[in-house]
Amino acid sequence: MKFNNTYIKLAPIFYQHVLPTPVAKPKLLLWNDSLAKQLLIPSTLTQDSALLAQYFSGNQLPPGAESIALTYSGHQFGHFNPQLGDGRAHLIGEISDENAQQRDIQLKGSGPTPFSRQGDGRCAIGPAVREYIMSEAMFALGVPTSRCLAVVASGEPVYRGDAKPGAIVTRVAASHIRVGTFQYFASQGNLEALDELTQYAIARHYPTIKSSGAERVIAFLEQVIAKQITLITAWLRVGFIHGVMNTDNTAISGETIDFGPCAMMGVYHPGTVFSSIDRKGRYAFANQAPIAQWNMARLAEALLPLIDSDQDAAVAKVEPLIIAMSAQFQQAFNTMMAAKLGFEHTSDEVDALSTELLDLMQTHQLDYTLTFYHLGLIINSQATVALVAPLNDWVAKWQSALANASISASNAYELMQQNNPVVIPRNHHVEAVLAQYEQGAQSDIERFLSVLAHPYQHTQHTELYQDPAADGDQHYRTFCGT
């Protein structure tokens, strides 16, 4: 592993040097071989699980690694917290992957840092394994996301109400720069650091931006916004609910980050919320696009001093970008829904069809993933699918719209197959696997992960994981990993 530690070359205010706290009995639980290959981790190391456990628990830093905790702020549920930062995570460096892309390697749950506040710096095994399952599932679903390389059991308890086994999860991300990182320097009035961060983020994530001065900052904002639209549209396509879209959980790279209280929607309802702390539904399924817009407004606000020293003039330059986001998102959403129905392009007719379908799904409490999957089977005439009766009229309209657009059944099916997963990481299956871990039992995780690695195909065990929760997830609740 060859580490490049570019973040450490930034000003000292960007991070704190701090080592992970060693744990009693590190044991490698999960290792992501295919990701390790992408990261060009040598097979001699990959085969040495004792050494991997040392490295990815934080007990020993790999050669060339340097451990830091990053500084950031964030709006949490709409309230600004000026001092967050990595309270239980250690960035140990960046690795250049097989495509020469820099990827951050970060341990999470690896002990306290100067940003820990009241926290213990630790992570329980359940949330660590959950992050692994969910991020790998999202990756396979084609959603931009951070990934997990390893989960190492610490051999030590963590106290979350009860004592739970502890673990350290290794996260791989394009970077860990968040909207909240910009907010930190903006709230300090540190324009030099704000500019340094912006130039660093552009060089790392948006190198095609060639302009300079204010134009460069505006182009950056524009591209971050575009990535957020792509990201949220992908979440909505697969039924993902992030659960805690605070600005400190919004990565500037456009990747999904922080799988704390996330969940998948079963029965379609735009107001679906599972997080126990999201009492007002701020981060409900269909609120995710307006919240991404709100978060981008916070990024724009942080960037204002780099755009014009006259604040009103700066606002006049960024406001149109934020306002335009609604229409851009709607367009992306319509195109995505059209693809789920087999249409390459949107039209008023197709938009009306998808709206009507979503309404029917809501009214009749239909499962989001299964409904699209069944529509695929119908168009492919593979099987007679018993849809609920109220959908029959809609299906007839849909089929005639496809015919009017001269789209063959096989073309429609192909597009639908690429956009409608056969299987998703359903909450009850994820929880069943996590419960096995917490009880120290033999786990079905390898089988589950192998199914989730091919979410658009039927594999040997896919059927075991397609079923919706018996209670329609009515009683399902998620918790932040703290």
Ligand X SMILES: Nc1ncnc2c1ncn2[C@@H]1O[C@H](COP(=O)(O)OP(=O)(O)OP(=O)(O)O)[C@@H](O)[C@H]1O
Q: Contact, 297 vs 74, CB < 8 A?
A: no
Residue sitting closest to ligand X (CB): 119
Cα angle value 279/285/287 (rounded, 5°): 80
Residue 148 or 244: the one with the smaller Cβ distance to ligand X is 244
Task: Please check if 397 is assigned to a binding site.
Answer: no
d(C-alpha 479, C-alpha 118), whole Å: 18
Residue 71 beta carbon to ligand X: minimum distance, rounded to whole angstroms: 10
Q: Contact, 336 vs 221, CB < 8 A?
A: no
Residues 297-356 that bind ligand X (CB under 6 A): none
Q: Is 29 exposed, middle or buried (0-12, 13-18, 19+ CB in 10 A)?
A: buried
Residue 41 or 158: the one with the smaller Cβ distance to Mg ion is 158
Name the DSSP letter for residue 61: P
Burial 195-213 (b: 16+ CB within 10 A, else e): ebbbebbbebbbeebeeee
Residue 476 beta carbon to Mg ion: minimum distance, rounded to whole angstroms: 21
254 binds, among Mg ion, ligand X, none (CB under 5 to 8 A by kind): none
Q: Is residue 85 near ligand X by the rule CB under 6 A?
A: yes
d(C-alpha 31, C-alpha 378), whole Å: 39
Choose which of 39, 84, 168, 358 interacts with ligand X (CB under 6 A): 84
Burial 228-238 (b: 16+ CB within 10 A, else e): bbebbbbbbbb
Which listed range, 132-140, 256-264, 291-299, 358-366, lies at the site for ligand X (CB under 6 A)? 256-264
Choose which of 58, 93, 260, 455 interacts with ligand X (CB under 6 A): 260
Binding mask 219-248 for ligand X (x = CB under 6 A): -------------------------x----
Q: Which two tokens stand for residue 313?
A: 């003039």
Residues 93-122 that bind ligand X (CB under 6 A): 115-116, 119-122
Task: Please check if 108 is assigned to a binding site.
Answer: yes
Q: Is residue 278 near Mg ion by the rule CB under 5 A?
A: no
Q: Contact, 167 vs 125, CB < 8 A?
A: yes
Q: Is residue 82 near ligand X by the rule CB under 6 A?
A: no
Q: Is 308 exposed, middle or buried (0-12, 13-18, 19+ CB in 10 A)?
A: middle
Q: Is residue 165 near ligand X by the rule CB under 6 A?
A: no
Tally of residues, the chain: 482
Catalytic residues: 248
Choose which of 86, 94, 255, 258 interacts with Mg ion (CB under 5 A): 258
Q: Which two tokens stand for residue 475?
A: 């009683």
Q: Contact, 66 vs 3, CB < 8 A?
A: yes
Q: Is residue 90 near ligand X by the rule CB under 6 A?
A: no
Residue 136 or 258: the one with the smaller Cβ distance to Mg ion is 258
Q: Which spans in 14-108 are helix H?
A: 33-38, 43-46, 49-55
DSSP structure string for 420-448? S-S----HHHHHHHHHHHHTT----HHHH
Q: Is residue 278 near ligand X by the rule CB under 6 A?
A: no
Q: Is residue 482 near ligand X by the rule CB under 6 A?
A: yes
Binding mask 208-247 for Mg ion (x = CB under 5 A): ----------------------------------------
Residue 263 or 267: the one with the smaller Cβ distance to Mg ion is 263
Q: Is residue 86 near Mg ion by the rule CB under 5 A?
A: no
Residue 343 beta carbon to Mg ion: minimum distance, rounded to whole angstroms: 37
The helix (H) or strand (E) run that includes residue 70 is: strand 68-70
d(C-alpha 18, C-alpha 113), whole Å: 6
Q: Is residue 249 near Mg ion by the rule CB under 5 A?
A: yes
Residue sitting closest to Mg ion (CB): 258
Task: Please check if 171 is assigned to a binding site.
Answer: yes
Residue 257 or 297: the one with the smaller Cβ distance to Mg ion is 257
Which listed range, 252-260, 318-326, 337-345, 421-429, lies at the site for ligand X (CB under 6 A)? 252-260
Task: Please check if 120 is assigned to a binding site.
Answer: yes
Q: Which two tokens stand for residue 93?
A: 């460096």
d(C-alpha 91, C-alpha 17), whole Å: 10
Q: Is residue 126 near ligand X by the rule CB under 6 A?
A: no
Binding-site positions for Mg(2+) read 249, 258
Binding-site positions read 85, 87-88, 108, 120-121, 171, 178, 249, 258
Binding-site positions for ATP read 85, 87-88, 108, 120-121, 171, 178, 258
The residues of the shown chain that bind ligand X, judged by CB under 6 A, are 84-89, 115-116, 119-122, 244, 249, 257-258, 260, 480-482
